[in-house]
Amino acid sequence: GNSVTQMEGPVTLSEEAFLTINCTYTATGYPSLFWYVQYPGEGLQLLLKATKADDKGSNKGFEATYRKETTSFHLEKGSVQVSDSAVYFCALREGANNLFFGTGTRLTVIP
């Protein structure tokens, strides 16, 4: 079956620090992979996506590369800002199936 395993949080970083949030997945075929972000009190916003192996998704300084050999889609950002504080969800979608989400990683960036 499909599943997503995400790095446990919470993560606390100082402004301008480097961010990595690990995500690995299990799927029977060739899923599309996503990172969604949820700001306090809000719904989910699509951050970036990749639809095939070796694709790199990027947006707002965040990036993630679809690694089929390691079944991973780790989220990275070179220099985080206070405004990046949120909960980050890794997700996959295979074929006509729904999205499968990880449990989320809470990021807090302190000035």
Partner 1 sequence: ETGVTQSPTHLIKTRGQQVTLRCSSQSGHNTVSWYQQALGQGPQFIFQYYREEENGRGNFPPRFSGLQFPNYSSELNVNALELDDSALYLCASSTGTSNLDTQYFGPGTRLTVL
Q: Which residues bind partner 1 (CB under 8 A)?
A: 4, 6, 31-32, 34, 36, 42-46, 49, 51, 89, 91, 93-104
Cis peptide before 31 (omega within 30 of 0): no
Residues 6+ apart with CB under 8 A from 63: 48, 56, 57, 75, 76, 77
Shortest reach from residue 53's CB to partner 1, in Å: 14
Task: Name the residue nearer to partner 1 (CB basis): 14 or 52.
Answer: 52
Task: Name the residue nearer to partner 1 (CB basis): 46 or 110.
Answer: 46
Task: Name the residue nearer to partner 1 (CB basis): 3 or 79.
Answer: 3
Shortest reach from residue 86's CB to partner 1, in Å: 14
The closest alpha carbon to 88, from 48, 30, 28, belongs to 48
The answer to whether the beta carbons of residues 30 and 52 sit under 8 Å apart is yes
Shortest reach from residue 111's CB to partner 1, in Å: 26
